[in-house]
Amino acid sequence: MERQFTEEIRSLRLGDGETFHGEGILAVTKALLQSGVSYVGGYQGAPVSHLLDVMVQAREYMNELGVHVEACTNEASAAAMLGASINYPVRGAVTWKSIVGTNVASDALSYLSTAGVMGGAMIIAGEDYGEGASVALERTHAVAMKSSLWMLDPRPNLPSIVRAVEKGFELSEASNSPVIVDLRIRACHVQGHFRATSNRPAAMSKRHPAQGPAPFNYDRLSHPPAIFRQEKLKAEVRLPAARRFIAEHKLNEVFPGDLDDIGIIVQGGLYNNLLRSLSLLGAADPFGASRVPILALNVVYPLVPEEIVGFCAAKRAVIMLEEGQPEFIEQEIATILRRQDVQTRLNGKDLMPMAGEYSAEVFVGGLAKFFAQHAPQLDTSGGAKWLAKVADTRKRATQLLGELPPRPPGFCIGCPERPVFAALKLAERHTGRPHISGDIGCHAFATFEPFSMGNSILGYGMSLASSAGVGPMMAGRPLAIMGDGGFWHNGLLSGVASNMLNKGDAVLVVMKNGYASATGTQELISSPPKEARDSTGASASHADRTIENALSGLGVGWVKTVHTYHVAEMQRALTEALTTDYKGLKVIVADGECQLERQRRVKPENARKLSAGERLVKVKYGVDEDTCTGDHSCIRLSGCPTLTVKDNPDPLRTDPVATVIDGCVGCGLCGENAHAATLCPSFYRAEVIQNPSAWDRLVAGVRDGFKGIFA
Amino acid sequence: MERSFTEEVEKLKLGDGETFHGEGILAVTKALLQSGVSYVGGYQGAPVSHMMDVLNDARDIMDELGIHIETNASEAGAAAMLGASINYPLRGAVTFKSTVGTNVASDALSNLASAGVKGGALIVLGEDYGEGASIIQERSHAFAMKSQIWLLDPRPNLPKIVDMVEKGFELSEASNTPVMLELRIRACHVHGTFAAKTNRAPQFSRRHALESPEFDFGRISLPPSTYAQEKHKIDVRWPAAVKYIRERKLNETFPGDLEDIGILCQGGMYNVTMRALQQLGLADAFGASRVPIYCMNVTYPMVPEEIVGFCAGRRAVLVVEEGQPAYIEDAVQAALRRNDVNGVKVHGKGMLPLAGEYTGETVLGGVAKFLEHAAPRGLDVGRVRAAFEKLTAPKTRAAELLGSAVPARPPGFCVGCPERPVFSAMKLVERELGAYHVSADIGCHTFATLPPFNIGHTVLGYGLGMASNSAVNTMFGRRTVTIMGDGGFWHNGLTSGVANAVFNKDDGILVIMKNGYSSATGTQELPSSPQHSRHKAQDMSMERAMQGLGVGWMKTVDNYNVGSVAKMLKEAMTSDYQGLKVIIAEGECQLERQRKLRPETARQLAAGERVVRTRYGVDEDTCTGDHSCIRLSGCPTLTIKDNPDPLRTDPVATVIDGCVGCGLCGENAHAATLCPSFYRAEVIQNPNAWDRLVAGLRTMITH
């Protein structure tokens, strides 16, 4: 695991009246325990990974409370897990990244929401929308509407978030519907504090098991004919119950202001940005007092028509601030107002951009237009000045620096996946470039320079499935890349089993780095066993064979496991897979442990050795600057951040030479590449010995002696 | 396979000017070939199973045209396959049942829609909404809005459906966006004709391969491309789609003389709307309506100019939109508000129910209410009222005459189904060990939730039974059981369920129904099917797959041996083994078995060969009349009849014709120690000399 949460786990134990300090997503974790959950599950992904990571690390305390924690193999499993709350009065929560996770979960969510729940069921969705998101930009709101799941979008501060969780469970139970708590990336990472309450052990849990199962109740099965009734229940019972609860408990908030002939309706999650923008526009003070009345929708679905009408009725105009497209809320408000014949002017997407993140800059621009139309008396010049200043800074920066080159992320130093793409570049010289179906995971960085490999990405674990249509249309075999994460998430079936069933002729590379690395090196079913990790600093991923066993279990006849750092061997395997006469799926398991995880073991161990005065050998690579030809093929085959250029020390040569800077972890790829691609022989390997032994000293002495002779 | 499509395959060969007669979904198949698709895929499920089934049977035609056909492992795989159209000018189509299939496909669809397509990408959705649906009630429309995928909803008649397939590809290419074609169950099964066109061989295909791949970072669904793609959707693709829809007049306006009102309907609702108008005396049988109609053959994106144009100047309009929430109505209201068209009153979910199918009766009621309320100039509302009452009176009268409601007749297991015995065994185990929680799944085995078994606490989706058990199994002092079919296993259950349980060291019990096929959808082939067409792999087994994942406790049982199934379940419930315990309940789908058996028996009979058929029966003198045997089986051939004994009044059990001789009734009686009234008989046709001799001797003794 990427991070240790020892401190954070301590704060999970806080009791009544104590103050919790910390991150938004950890506040959610605490709020779950305060709400008496019986079980928690999920699938990792930014920005909500920490929720589950903390729970997994706090297993002992969870056991004490009787909370069952499950690290699910995908979001569909997690959503299905909430099925426990259909028949029993147990509260449960699961978490994942959205929209992708919600997509994967959506079938289970449909069934769950149709059946309805008895115990509170909650989904903590990390809404990854906007610039900074790593996934396709879509709104979770769509799924809430589709399946009649209620969606909370609390104002991004800890007390509001905690209240949303606690009230969310009550709402879920009051309306027999699952609830989504939607948290944008900044809400997950916002720091703050709230007054804790003591954790509540659940009445029914693994510590207090039920005596027997619930009596059989056909109406709780999502199966015809019960589904027809359930669909009506959703519309006629659960929806009104939810609206009643939302109104009675005042989950949405109205903030008054003196300019009360206009108003702003905003998704709760955008409230902070809105306030910042209003203050820039001179319509709010820095403490959050706005001159324009605001209706903050901490529940964005369902809306309470009476609240909307009540807020809008006496106003000339309101603006709906809703991030992302399409404008679900604005359309619903238009319907509500039109039905009730409220003639208030409704602005929204006409003044604001339809798509993309609503940053403060975007808000200031849109609100300035709104105020110009409906509150011309308001002096918004502050906002215009600020916008001008931002634009000016940007312009000046460009003038001073020139167009900055984009700096896309890339593989870590020593990443075991980089050599695979180096090998593929070499193999291409003989086989031609194949169509490459990319996937989600660290290996997707290969789509950037210097590799530019990958023609499409169709979702996590979907690479092999996505090559099914391409394969038969191409003269050469396509290549699918998949991580071990994606393999277990769904790729084993959607890809491998499907290709086998259809007698496909595909080539698949499975990156076996041992963890779900891109999300924080969470464990997988095929993570190396603890013993392998404890005993050595070397790559441990080879110690687990579950991937290979699963492949042969499915009857894959061509499987080769190749250590990724052996570039030449990997090149041969790739060439063979792409050109062999063997008809059928060919799988290369590219074995090499995630370097981050490996270094997490190696570094403390090295530190210990150093301080204990023990002998320590560190491998470093370097470039002999006299031999380096300066053509930088080595860089184009690697992209390692520590393999870079420097001025040529030779005054007669002007091209910069390659150099290995500090930070090299000694993976050896640069040397391997130079060897496999027969580049210039400029790479050397050095062993840096700290706390040398007598023998080391003797050898070094002899060497120095020789050097002295020849010097 | 349930059905052979030899005849239908011939229709796929029709050329220019010939007339195609047949079913809606088969017309789609033909339209795909006319559109020059390069590849086709999908996952089976009513009402669109036939599309894949027919294409699978039409391999020769497909090979000739160079079209690749893939049976995808799941809808996610099918959607991902459309990725071929991202980089290349390839047309492709996939099909699945919706909304379940669209759910499963939704992640791949998000990525596909974000990247955008170069070649036309079409998703044929079987919209299974309404009374008759087998799945949860939700709308595919949600996905269209969520991912900006265009949604076609053609009027349910063959020429329009075919036209929309063809235009759908063009729309997809004109706007770089995948397109969904939504067909409700009646649209799939409507019969009709259309003038065929000659099939078009695709430019690139298996026969004309692409030479080199295309790299374009802008087409990869990764940041920063995704930000540009999101803007591209709104700034370029959406306007391009709206432009195409307007220019090519994909939506239709039908005029009428009652001009101060109007109806806006989804294309798929057109027939039912017309029928309602006709019954109320406002349209003739040929579709000429007195009420103007705006028929949306494209329900997403909507064309605000068309909506405003249709609504402006009218006093009231009715939106006929099936299902909830009311996406279209909301969009209509928003469009009118934005354009300051405030005079027209928009009705919809007030007049028509918010949820549930818009059947003829429902729409009739809604339209009648709308007409009465709107009272258009030139219409005698009283006559509409009278017509409506005349239509609805018989039903009211029938209900009065019948008194209480007729008993529900839920579906159940087939005669001889191999899954029934497993539930008999589960009942026996329950008697001994007490009740336990059962997580059910999607498949024939879900019928166990109905009487006489009533087994199953939850259904969370196809293949998700095991996953849905993961929290429940920790909450009891006793182990819980999950049921999963082999279909669900290969769809996602192996990863979402089995791998999940192994990884989390869950202590559950999983019963896998190994009947060999995806039976509930029409016995399509699975990776582990016992017999394979030559296009499919032959060597995949669930057992080896699970061994590969490290499942340590796995037992196989013969389903019809009820005693040993019960014993194995008990063992799993009480074993000290901590970890996932898998019972593979083996028994071939009886439908598929009979499909092989029947022609063979017929052949033998015709050839005069000896044929032995096993039948079961109940000895009416021994039968105690308590019917425990029925409560343990539910087989349609095991029923009751009047007691022939005048001294006994309770009816006795009897086995009627139709029994396939699976032997479950006898097995149950034995395993549960019921009364010894079951007998097994062998019916010998074309007996040989020995049979005759034995029979002769027997007859002599019995007399």
Q: What is the pLDDT of residue A42?
A: 96
**Do A473 and B209 make contact, defined as CB atoms within 8 angstroms?**
yes
Q: What is the pLDDT of residue A674?
A: 92
Q: Work out the burial of residue B656: count CB atoms within 10 Å of its CB; fewer than 13 is exposed, 13-18 middle, 19 or more buried.
A: middle
Strands (DSSP E) found in A221-314: 253-255, 262-267, 294-297, 299-301
Which of A55, A63, A73 best tests the B interface by mutation, with the highest count of B CBs <10 A? A73
The answer to whether A669 and A638 have CB atoms below 8 angstroms apart is: yes
Structure tokens at B665: 């009734």
Q: Distance of alpha carbon B678 from its chain centroid, rounded?
A: 38
Structure tokens at B180: 């969904």
Q: How many CB pairs under 8 A join A and B?
A: 497
**Do B464 and A77 make contact, defined as CB atoms within 8 angstroms?**
yes
Those residues whose C-beta lies under 8 Å from the C-beta of residue B52, and which sit 6 or more positions away, are B40, B41, B42, B43, B44, B71, B95, B524
Q: What is the DSSP letter of B494?
A: I
The answer to whether A181 and A168 have CB atoms below 8 angstroms apart is: yes
Identify the CA nearest to B495 among candidates B104, B27, B65: B104
Structure tokens at A639: 């992209």
**Do B500 and A489 make contact, defined as CB atoms within 8 angstroms?**
no
Q: How far is A227 from chain B (nearest CA, A)?
A: 6
Residues 248-307 of A with CB under 8 A from B: none
Chain A residue at shortest CA distance from B541? A554
Q: What is the pLDDT of residue A93?
A: 98
The three-state secondary structure class of A39 is: strand
**Residue type for position A684:** Y
Which of B43, B131, B472 best tests the A interface by mutation, with the highest count of A CBs <10 A? B472
Is A556 touching B (CB cutoff 8 A)? no
Q: Please, what sign has the CA dihedral across residues A52, A54, A60, A61?
A: negative
Beta strand B121-127 with B150-152 is unpaired
The answer to whether B339 and B367 have CB atoms below 8 angstroms apart is: no
Element (H, E) at B109: helix B100-115
Task: Please tell me the distance from the alpha carbon of residue A390 to that of residue A394, in angstroms, as a whole number.
Answer: 6
Task: Please tell me the distance from the alpha carbon of residue B420 to that of residue A152, in angstroms, as a whole number.
Answer: 44
Q: How many other CB atoms are there within 10 angstroms of residue B89's CB atom? A: 15
B74 vs A82, A335, A494: nearest CB: A494
**Do A497 and B211 make contact, defined as CB atoms within 8 angstroms?**
no
Q: What is the pLDDT of residue B477?
A: 87
Identify the CA nearest to A73 among candidates A460, A449, A470: A460
Q: How far is A248 from chain B (nearest CA, A)?
A: 23
Query: Rg (Cα) of chain B, in Å, rounded?
Result: 29
Chain B residue at shortest CA distance from A479? B213
Within chain A, how many helices (H) and strands (E) appear?
A: 28, 26
Task: Please tell me the distance from the alpha carbon of residue A473 to that of residue A505, in angstroms, as a whole number.
Answer: 12
Chain A residues within 8 A of B490 when measuring between CB atoms: 493, 497
Question: How far from B378 is each of A433, A516, B260, B371, CA to CA, in Å?
Answer: 71, 70, 10, 12
Q: Distance of alpha carbon B334 from its chain centroid, rounded?
A: 34
Give A39's strand partners. Answer: A68, A92
The owner of tokens 């990764």 is B222
Q: Work out the burial of residue B630: count CB atoms within 10 Å of its CB; fewer than 13 is exposed, 13-18 middle, 19 or more buried.
A: middle
**Do A494 and B76 make contact, defined as CB atoms within 8 angstroms?**
yes
Strands (DSSP E) found in B170-292: 179-184, 191-195, 252-254, 261-266
Residues 213-242 of A with CB under 8 A from B: 213-214, 216-218, 220-225, 227-228, 230-232, 234-236
**Do B110 and A100 make contact, defined as CB atoms within 8 angstroms?**
yes
The three-state secondary structure class of A702 is: helix
**Do A131 and B325 make contact, defined as CB atoms within 8 angstroms?**
no
Q: What is the pLDDT of residue A708?
A: 85
Q: What is the pLDDT of residue B2?
A: 72
Chain B residues within 8 A of A231 when measuring between CB atoms: 137, 324, 355-356
In chain A (711 residues long), the average pLDDT of successive 10-residue segments reads 85 96 95 97 93 92 94 96 96 97 97 97 95 90 97 98 98 98 95 97 91 91 90 94 98 97 98 96 92 98 98 97 96 94 94 94 96 95 95 92 82 96 95 95 94 95 95 93 97 95 94 95 94 84 95 95 96 97 96 94 92 93 91 93 93 91 92 91 92 93 88 67
Q: C-alpha angle with apex A109: A107 to A110, nearest 5 degrees?
A: 65
Chain A residues within 8 A of B107 when measuring between CB atoms: 100, 103-104, 459-460, 462
Identify the CA nearest to B681 among candidates B695, B696, B701, B693: B695
Question: How far from B263 is each of A335, A401, A520, A587, B362, CA to CA, in Å?
Answer: 18, 60, 54, 57, 15
Residues 31-60 of A with CB under 8 A from B: 38-39, 41
**Do B499 and A554 make contact, defined as CB atoms within 8 angstroms?**
no
A488 vs B333, B499, B550: nearest CB: B499
Within chain B, how many helices (H) and strands (E) appear?
A: 27, 26
Q: Work out the burial of residue A706: count CB atoms within 10 Å of its CB; fewer than 13 is exposed, 13-18 middle, 19 or more buried.
A: exposed
Element (H, E) at B175: helix B158-175
**Do B142 and A213 make contact, defined as CB atoms within 8 angstroms?**
no
Q: How far is B594 from chain A (nearest CA, A)?
A: 25
Q: Please, what sign has the CA dihedral across residues A677, A682, A683, A684?
A: positive
Q: What is the pLDDT of residue A20?
A: 97
Which of B43, B134, B327, B470 best tests the A interface by mutation, with the highest count of A CBs <10 A? B470
Q: Distance of alpha carbon B459 from its chain centroid, rounded?
A: 16
Chain B residues within 8 A of A108 when measuring between CB atoms: 460-461, 464, 467-468
Question: How far from B70 is each of A472, A512, B73, B92, CA to CA, in Å?
Answer: 10, 28, 9, 11
Is A459 touching B (CB cutoff 8 A)? yes
**Do B220 and A455 make contact, defined as CB atoms within 8 angstroms?**
yes
Identify the CA nearest to B460 among candidates B38, B86, B27, B104: B104
B470 vs A70, A115, A142: nearest CB: A70
B449 vs A223, A452, A555: nearest CB: A223
Q: How far is A77 from chain B (nearest CA, A)?
A: 5
B330 vs A335, A408, A468: nearest CB: A335
In chain B (703 residues long), the average pLDDT of successive 10-residue segments reads 83 96 95 97 93 91 94 96 96 97 97 97 95 90 97 97 98 98 95 97 92 90 92 96 98 97 98 96 93 98 97 97 95 93 93 94 96 95 94 91 83 94 97 95 95 95 96 92 97 96 95 95 90 73 95 97 96 96 97 92 95 92 91 94 90 93 93 92 92 92 82
Q: How many other CB atoms are there within 10 angstroms of residue A675's CB atom? A: 14
Task: Please tell me the distance from the alpha carbon of residue B107 to that of residue A101, in angstroms, as a whole number.
Answer: 8
Which of B95, B111, B547 best tests the A interface by mutation, with the highest count of A CBs <10 A? B111
First to last CA, chain B: 49
* The total number of residues written for chain A in this structure: 711
Angle, in degrees to the nearest 10, between helices A271-280 and A381-401: 100
Q: How far is B694 from chain A (nearest CA, A)?
A: 50
Q: What is the pLDDT of residue B512?
A: 98
Identify the CA nearest to A68 among candidates A58, A77, A76: A58
The answer to whether A660 and A643 have CB atoms below 8 angstroms apart is: yes
Q: How many other CB atoms are there within 10 angstroms of residue A261's CB atom? A: 13
Those residues whose C-beta lies under 8 Å from the C-beta of residue A208, and which sit 6 or more positions away, are A66, A201, A202
**Do A230 and B137 make contact, defined as CB atoms within 8 angstroms?**
yes
**Do A473 and B503 make contact, defined as CB atoms within 8 angstroms?**
no
B110 vs A103, A328, A524: nearest CB: A103
**DSSP assignment string, A550-613:** HHHHTT-SEEEEEETT-HHHHHHHHHHHHH-S--S-EEEEEE---HHHHHHHHHHHHHHHHHTT
Chain A residue at shortest CA distance from B41? A469
Give A92's strand partners. Answer: A39, A121
Identify the CA nearest to A624 among candidates A664, A661, A663, A657: A657
Question: How far from B48 is each of A223, B190, B532, CA to CA, in Å?
Answer: 20, 13, 22
Structure tokens at A380: 């918004």
**Do A472 and B206 make contact, defined as CB atoms within 8 angstroms?**
yes
Q: In A117-211, where does DSSP find H-type helix?
A: 141-147, 158-175, 185-189
Q: How far is B682 from chain A (nearest CA, A)?
A: 39
Measure the CA dihedral A305/A308/A310/A315, to 10°.
Answer: -140
